[in-house]
C-alpha cells in the first residue's frame, strides 16, 4: 500500500442549512501558516520521485518546450500612426514592439520587454493600453501569477517609464479618456490580511491623470453598499462616457452613458438580466451585442439623444454572434459556426456584405478594427495551426483585399480534425472535436485525452495549445467537447449548464466519453480527462462520480470545494454560474456534486495528478490542497495502488503570465502521467 504524506485532520464542522458538514482540513486555507508550508513541501517531496520516474517525462518536456518556444506573433493594432504588436521568439514572456507599418513589425523597436522585469520570468505584463495618439502606454505588472497588478506609464517615443505607479488594481485594462493624458482603472484598498486569499471588498472605478499623484485620482464610480459588483468604462469615445456594471463572472450587465464633463446620465439598460457588450459609437449611436430576446445574440443600436433602441443585425438562425467592431463606414461581425469562427462584413444599417476568408475550423484569437480606419487586423489559430495573421482592407461591407503575414518557426504537428456528436442524458446532442495524429486511421482504440471546460459562457474552440499539440504529436488522440455551460451555441446553451443544472455539464461529458468507447475511439483503460479552473471542477466531479470511466484524471487549479468557494478573493462572482452556497436551495445542488465532499472510502479512484500554484489568488490553492489530502486518505483506506499526486508550483498563480520553462515542466508532468496510465508509448 502506498504511503502518502501524513496530513492532520481536525474536528472542524459547519452547520449549513440543517446539515452538518465536516471540514477537517480547514487549516489548509491559511496560506501563510508554517503548517501549510510544511504540507506543500511534503506533497512536493512525495510527488517528485513519482513524476521523475515517468518514462515520457523528458520526451514531453522536450516536445512541449519546442512548441512553447516557437515564435508567436500577436494581433497588430494601430494608434496614432504607429503599429504595435506582441511577439515572442522563445522568451518566457512576450515583448511589445512598435513600428511605422505592419510590414515593419518584424524589425520593430522593442517598447516593453516583460522578461526584463524579473530574473526568473515570473513577473508578467497582464494589461496594456496605448493612448489613441500613440504617445503613452499604460501597462499592468503582476508578480508570480497573481491577479493583483500595479499600473505604470511608459513614454512610447523614449521608451522610459514615467513616475506614475498605481498599486492594488485588478480586472479592467486602462481606458484612455479624451485628451489622452488620463485613463480609468479598477482599484481596491490595499489588503488588510492575505491578498492572495481574502475575499475581495468593494472596488471602485478611478481616473488617473498622468503625472499627477495617485492620491489625487478621482473616483468615477463606486457602490460600497453593494461590494459584489464591478464597473467598466468601455468603449472609449471622445464625446461619450459609457459605463456598465455587473454582479458576476457570467451575469448580465446594465448600460449608461453621459457626456464627458456632464452631470446628466442616460440609462440605456437597467438590471443585470441580459448581456450588453457595447462595441462602439458612431454619430451618437451606440452599438451593442446582446442576448436580450436573442439566445444566439443580435446587434442592437441606441440613439444617444433619446435612448431609443433598434435591432441592426437580428439573431442568426444557427450561428452565434460573438462580437462586432466598427470600421470606417461599416461593421465587421464575429460569428461562431458549430464552435468555429467566421468573419462577416456589414453596413451600419445591418445589410450583410462579404465574408472574410479566414479559413475553416479556426478560432479568432485577436481582432483589431477602428471606426476611423478601413484596415482590419485579425489573428486565427486551430488545433493544427500555431497562428495566422490576417490584414484585411474593407470598403464598408465590401472586402477590398485580404492577405496573410507569415509566422516564423516550425509548423504545428500534422493532424486531422473531425466532429462527433453524442446523445446526453436529456437526449440533447453534444458535439466534440476529435483530433487524430497523422497516420492514425481510427481502426484501433488509442490513448485519448479529453480536454474540457463547460462553464461561464466560455467556448471551447479549435485553438492551438502547446500541451494538447504535444499529446497529438506523440501519437495520442485529442477530444475537445462542447459541453453545456459553455458559450459555443448561445446563452441558452450556457444557462442549461448553470446553478441547479450544473449536473448536466457532467452528464454531457459522460455522454461524450461513452460515445468514444462505444465507437472504438478508445477504451476506459486508455481514456484520460484533463481540465483547468472550472475545467478542474469538471475533472474533480467526473473523478468522484464516474471513477470507472478514466485511466487517469488531471484536475488543474480546480474549484473543488463548492461549499466555500465564495469566501475567497473573487469567488463570490462565480455564484452567477454555480449558485450561492448561502442560499438553501442552491446549496443543495452544490452539495450534491461538490468534488471535495463526494470522496468516499471504499472506492478505488483512478490515478490522479492534482496541480495548483501557491500564488493562485483566483482559485485559491486550498481547493486543491483539501481535495488531494482527502483523496489520498480515501485511496489509502481502500487499499488501491493507483497514485494520488499533488504537485504545487511555488511561484505560480492561476496560469496567466506563467514562465514558459515552468509551464513546460508542468505540462510535461501532466502528459507523461497521462501517457503512462493510458498506455501511450512515447519515442524519446
Instruction: Indicate whether 553 belongs to any domain.
Output: yes
Reply yes or no on whether 566 is catalytic: no
Catalytic residue among 533, 576, 624, 647, which? 533
Binned at pLDDT 50, 70 and 90, residue 263 comes out as confident
Q: Mean pLDDT, to the nearest integer, of 629-641?
A: 96
Q: Which domain does 602 fall in, by range?
A: 16-65+411-678
Instruction: Indicate whether 555 belongs to any domain.
Output: yes
pLDDT at 249 over 70: no
Catalytic residue among 272, 615, 623, 654, which? 654
Residue by residue, DSSP assigns 442-489 as SSS---EEEE----TT----S---HHHHHHHHTT-EEEEE--TTSSSS
Instruction: Indicate whether 183 belongs to any domain.
Output: no
pLDDT single digits (tens) 146-171: 889 999 999 999 999 999 999 999 98
Cell numbers linked to 187: 482599484
pLDDT single digits (tens) 75-102: 999 999 999 999 999 998 999 999 999 9
Contact 434, 420 (CB under 8 A): yes
- Helices then strands, each counted (H, E), the chain: 11, 39
Binned at pLDDT 50, 70 and 90, residue 653 comes out as low
Q: What residues contact residue 409 under an 8 Å CB cut-off, 6+ apart?
A: 70, 71, 386
Catalytic residue among 237, 348, 616, 669, which? 616
Contacts of 387-393 with CB under 8 Å at 24 or more apart are: 387/72, 387/73, 387/464, 388/358, 388/359, 388/362, 389/73, 389/75, 389/76, 390/356, 390/358, 391/76, 391/102, 392/343, 392/356
Cell numbers linked to 457: 459562457
Number of domains the chain contains: 1
Q: Mean pLDDT, to the nearest integer, of 293-317?
A: 97
Reply yes or no on whether 654 is catalytic: yes
Which CATH number characterizes residue 504's domain?
Answer: 3.40.50.1820
pLDDT at 654 over 70: no
Instruction: Indicate whether 3 belongs to any domain.
Output: no
State the pLDDT at residue 652.
61
Q: Mean pLDDT, to the nearest integer, of 55-74?
A: 95
Instruction: Indicate whether 577 belongs to any domain.
Output: yes
Reply yes or no on whether 337 is catalytic: no
Instruction: Indicate whether 134 belongs to any domain.
Output: no
pLDDT single digits (tens) 209-244: 999 999 999 999 999 888 888 899 999 999 999 999
- pTM for the structure as a whole: 0.93
Instruction: Indicate whether 364 belongs to any domain.
Output: no
Is the CA virtual torsion 484, 487, 490, 496 positive or negative? positive
Amino acid at each position: 500500500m502506498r504511503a502518502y504524506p501524513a496530513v492532520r485532520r481536525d474536528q472542524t464542522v459547519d452547520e449549513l442549512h440543517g446539515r452538518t458538514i465536516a471540514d477537517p482540513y480547514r487549516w489548509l486555507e491559511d496560506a501563510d501558516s508554517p503548517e501549510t508550508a510544511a504540507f506543500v513541501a511534503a506533497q512536493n517531496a512525495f510527488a517528485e520521485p513519482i513524476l521523475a520516474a515517468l518514462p515520457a517525462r523528458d520526451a514531453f518536456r522536450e516536445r512541449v518546450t519546442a512548441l512553447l518556444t516557437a515564435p508567436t506573433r500577436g494581433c497588430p493594432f494601430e494608434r496614432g500612426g504607429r503599429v504595435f504588436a506582441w511577439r515572442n521568439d522563445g522568451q518566457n514572456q512576450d515583448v511589445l514592439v512598435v513600428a511605422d507599418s505592419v510590414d515593419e513589425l518584424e524589425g520593430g523597436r522593442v517598447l516593453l520587454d516583460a522578461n526584463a522585469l524579473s530574473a526568473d520570468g515570473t513577473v508578467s505584463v497582464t494589461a496594456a493600453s496605448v493612448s489613441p495618439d500613440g504617445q503613452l502606454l499604460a501597462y499592468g505588472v503582476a508578480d508570480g501569477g497573481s491577479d493583483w497588478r500595479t499600473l505604470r506609464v511608459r513614454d512610447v517615443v523614449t521608451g522610459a517609464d514615467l513616475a506614475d505607479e498605481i498599486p492594488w488594481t485588478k480586472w479592467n485594462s486602462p481606458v484612455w479618456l479624451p485628451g489622452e493624458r488620463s485613463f480609468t482603472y479598477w482599484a481596491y484598498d490595499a489588503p488588510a490580511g492575505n491578498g492572495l486569499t481574502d475575499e475581495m471588498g468593494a472596488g471602485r472605478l478611478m481616473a488617473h491623470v498622468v503625472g499627477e499623484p495617485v492620491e489625487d485620482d478621482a473616483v468615477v464610480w463606486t457602490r460600497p453598499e453593494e461590494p459584489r459588483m464591478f464597473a467598466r468604462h468601455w468603449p472609449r469615445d471622445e464625446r461619450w462616457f459609457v459605463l456598465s456594471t455587473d454582479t458576476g463572472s457570467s451575469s448580465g450587465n446594465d448600460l449608461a452613458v453621459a457626456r464627458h464633463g456632464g452631470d446628466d446620465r442616460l440609462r440605456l439598460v437597467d438590471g443585470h438580466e441580459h448581456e450588453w457588450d457595447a462595441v462602439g459609437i458612431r454619430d451618437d449611436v451606440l452599438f451593442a451585442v446582446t442576448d436580450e430576446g436573442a439566445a444566439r445574440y443580435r446587434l442592437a443600436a441606441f440613439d444617444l439623444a433619446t435612448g431609443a433602441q433598434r435591432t441592426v443585425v437580428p439573431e442568426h438562425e444557427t450561428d452565434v454572434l460573438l462580437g462586432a467592431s466598427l470600421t470606417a463606414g461599416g461593421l465587421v461581425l464575429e460569428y461562431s459556426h458549430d464552435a468555429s469562427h467566421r468573419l462577416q462584413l456589414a453596413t451600419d444599417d445591418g445589410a450583410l456584405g462579404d465574408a472574410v476568408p479566414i479559413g475553416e475550423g479556426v478560432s479568432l484569437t485577436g481582432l483589431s478594427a477602428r471606426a476611423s480606419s478601413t484596415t482590419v487586423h485579425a489573428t486565427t489559430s486551430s488545433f493544427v495551426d500555431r497562428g495566422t495573421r490576417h490584414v484585411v482592407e474593407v470598403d464598408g461591407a465590401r472586402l477590398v483585399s485580404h492577405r496573410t503575414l507569415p509566422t516564423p518557426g516550425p509548423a504545428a504537428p500534422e493532424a486531422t480534425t473531425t466532429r462527433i456528436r453524442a446523445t446526453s442524458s436529456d437526449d440533447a446532442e453534444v458535439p466534440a472535436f476529435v483530433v487524430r495524429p497523422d497516420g492514425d486511421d481510427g481502426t484501433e482504440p488509442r490513448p485519448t485525452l479529453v480536454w474540457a471546460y463547460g462553464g461561464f459562457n466560455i467556448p471551447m474552440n479549435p485553438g492551438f495549445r502547446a500541451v494538447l499539440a504535444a499529446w497529438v504529436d506523440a501519437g495520442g488522440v485529442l477530444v475537445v467537447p462542447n459541453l453545456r455551460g459553455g458559450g459555443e451555441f448561445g446563452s441558452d446553451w450556457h444557462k442549461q449548464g448553470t446553478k441547479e443544472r450544473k449536473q448536466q455539464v457532467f452528464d454531457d461529458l459522460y455522454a461524450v466519453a461513452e460515445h468514444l468507447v462505444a465507437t472504438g475511439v478508445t477504451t476506459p483503460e486508455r481514456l484520460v480527462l484533463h481540465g483547468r479552473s472550472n475545467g478542474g471542477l469538471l475533472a474533480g466531479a467526473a473523478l468522484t462520480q464516474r471513477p470507472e470511466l478514466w485511466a487517469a484524471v488531471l484536475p488543474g487549479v480546480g474549484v473543488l470545494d463548492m461549499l466555500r468557494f465564495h469566501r475567497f478573493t473573487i469567488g463570490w462572482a462565480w455564484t452567477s454560474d454555480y449558485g450561492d452556497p448561502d442560499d438553501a436551495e442552491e446549496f443543495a445542488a452544490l452539495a450534491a456534486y461538490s468534488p471535495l465532499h463526494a470522496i468516499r472510502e471504499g472506492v478505488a479512484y483512478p490515478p490522479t495528478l492534482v496541480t495548483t500554484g501557491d500564488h493562485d489568488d483566483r482559485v485559491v490553492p486550498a481547493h486543491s490542497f483539501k481535495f488531494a489530502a482527502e483523496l489520498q486518505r480515501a485511496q489509502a483506506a481502500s487499499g488501491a495502488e493507483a497514485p494520488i499526486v499533488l504537485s504545487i508550483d511555488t511561484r505560480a498563480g492561476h496560469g496567466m503570465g506563467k514562465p514558459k520553462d515552468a509551464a513546460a515542466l508542468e505540462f510535461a508532468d501532466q502528459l507523461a502521467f497521462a501517457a503512462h496510465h493510458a498506455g501511450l508509448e512515447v519515442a524519446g
